[in-house]
Amino acid sequence: MQLKIISLFVGGFMIAGVFTHAAPIDPHATKATQALYANLKKITQKGIMFGHQDDALYGVGWKYDWNRSDIKSVCGDYPAVFGWELGHLELGHSNSLDSVNFDTLRSRIKEVYRRGAVNTISWHLNNPLGGTAWDAKTTTAVESVLPGGAKHAMFNEWLNRLAHFFLSLRDDHGKLIPIMFRPYHEMTGGWFWWGNQQCTTKQYVELWRYTVNYLEKKGVHNLLYIYSPTDVPTSQAYFERYPGDKYVDILGVDIYQDKGENTSERYIADARRSLSFMVQAASQRHKVAVFSETGIYNVSINDWWTNELWKAIKNIPIAYVLVWRNACDGPTQFFAPYPGQGSAQDFKAFKKNPKMIFENQLPGMYQ
């Protein structure tokens, strides 16, 4: 194991210590998964990868068009990181909660990997006691899926379907495609059935550990696990529900600029504070750090990319930043520009920043 001593200042924090080329938490992780983990650590020396949720599946006014992307249509290049969603997979449905066919999703993941970009997956699984992931009135849902709980057998079947999907993600040579998996996120908020108002810390930790152990026993060895609370004021609050270093590969955080609530200055300050102590912790624990979700609803500020997002992440060594999806149906909802959108010109300037990495600037991430 190689050692490298690094010292740097981030957001007022001194980060110093011995950095190692640590392995993923899964001792049987595939070679490509191990390579991705090592390269996620290295990429921060070059810059920050840009990511977008569901980018190659749909955008404003279109769905399922091959080789199409709102990001690519604006700036001529794909994101470096592609986010995807598996909600409703647990139910055995053919389409996700966002009405995306899982076979189509699988094909897009394979294509992204073929081009050398990176995939990350979230899972807004239904409340086991009934309703969606956001049906959070109950305080017994997590307890019900743990060993001995009334919904434990059903939950195991949900995990079986999840394992089957991950094991179906294979390249042209039949080898497993590495995935950054982000389950049970924003647990420090109270809007999901696994949130901090819906279960105890002990129950949440058991849920996380049970999931990791179950998937590994099913032969799923192509995952890197992301722990991502929502905006928290302190490192202590961030790690309140942390499952432990043996169960987490990547430290993330979800912070949005809420229109009408957060001023630009507050968003930048909140993001830099959380990212700074998270990066410091990641260096100490030999983990990767990412900005797992962010954005401003309908990108209502035309220079948001260069004047707010960049100021929030500048000089902070995170592997990537990901903004949420551009919905193609229902009420207008987008977090990235599309041709003609007010922030499109500013995004082009953001893309030219030498520290922002898009797909064409990626080094080999799986070697």
Contacts of 99 (CB under 8 A, 6+ apart): 329
DSSP 8-state symbol, 329 = S
- Residue 186 among the catalytic residues: yes
Please report how many Cα atoms fall inside a 13 Å half-sphere around the Cα of residue 35, on the Cβ side.
Answer: 13
Pairing relationship of beta strands 62-63 and 58-59 according to DSSP bridges: antiparallel
Q: Are 335 and 297 in contact (CB under 8 A)?
A: yes
- CA dist 126 and 93 (Å) reads 12
- Residue 293 among the catalytic residues: yes
Active-site residue identified among 186, 206, 308, 359:
186
Active-site residue identified among 90, 293, 308, 359:
293
Q: How many other C-beta atoms can be found within 10 angstroms of the C-beta atom of residue 347?
A: 25
If residue 161 lies in a helix (H) or strand (E), which one and from where to where?
helix 152-167
- CA dist 83 and 325 (Å) reads 9
Q: Using CB atoms within 10 A of its CB, is residue 103 exposed (0-12), middle (13-18) or buried (19+)? A: exposed
- CA dist 241 and 205 (Å) reads 6
Residue 87's closest CA among 220, 12, 192?
192
State which amino acid sits at residue 139.
T
Q: Are 275 and 11 in contact (CB under 8 A)?
A: yes
Residue numbers annotated as active site:
186, 293
